Structure 1
């Protein structure tokens, strides 16, 4: 965990997820209240859903790119936009209507595993990268690494050399609106 108790991504906000997170922190001798910063890699609810609750419980700063910010600023609008994009993608792919509805209802259920992040606890970094964050007793360069998400960041330390990255890579992201990924 390092000299600044840091959590990179945090999972969804529901009882079993929180319980598992608390057990994981306890393995390092920590409690939620010990966290000083939460770093979010991208705007998927399974990576950031519990961030609001954790921030309120710990007082931690929540670091994210300006690409993640719209989800914090207006979760409902961002979710509605994502549902519309995916609905169009599913339709174009010829997915049967009943299957489309099942997937889209699942997306709408994200509301149940999301906790709003207090804006006053947010610290933004540039999506394009180049900035440095401090955690795990070291400085880490923010890198833009789209693929799994169009707003994906990873953190690189050239001295180690080592990267912290979350999610897997896809050739394209449904949220990219058809834009080519770098």
Structure 2
């Protein structure tokens, strides 16, 4: 099965006028993700999609889980334009996903906070990701827990041939 999503947007057609200064950041990016100490730049790869309506979507190559973490779903959330100074577009996104039970741990919810900078001259997006894993019954948006993990990412915008 092949699924294709096509989107088009110009600054004059933004669904959310607050996103207009970061209109060039709208699209999908293929990233390489590093662990916190940046010793492994291919800890995972991700797709980060930012829409003209302020939605954010996240898919990660590590969703099947690993020795130190449980499997999880794709994520959905929202993003905003923080600024567009000196040609670099600063964005913030929050993504929520579900974490499947593993061993004797129950279901959980994950929240991924992304702070990034997009340079439209190079087509590169880079920044930091901070992950919070919270109990299934809790509100991931109001957690005061310490982050579960953090790291950096860098990637390029996917364009049609």
TM-score between the two structures when normalised by the length of structure 1: 0.24
Greater share of strand residues, 1 or 2?
2
Question: Which protein has the bigger helix share?
Answer: 1
Specify which structure has the bigger relative contact order, considering alpha-carbon pairs within 8 angstroms and separated by 6 or more residues. 1
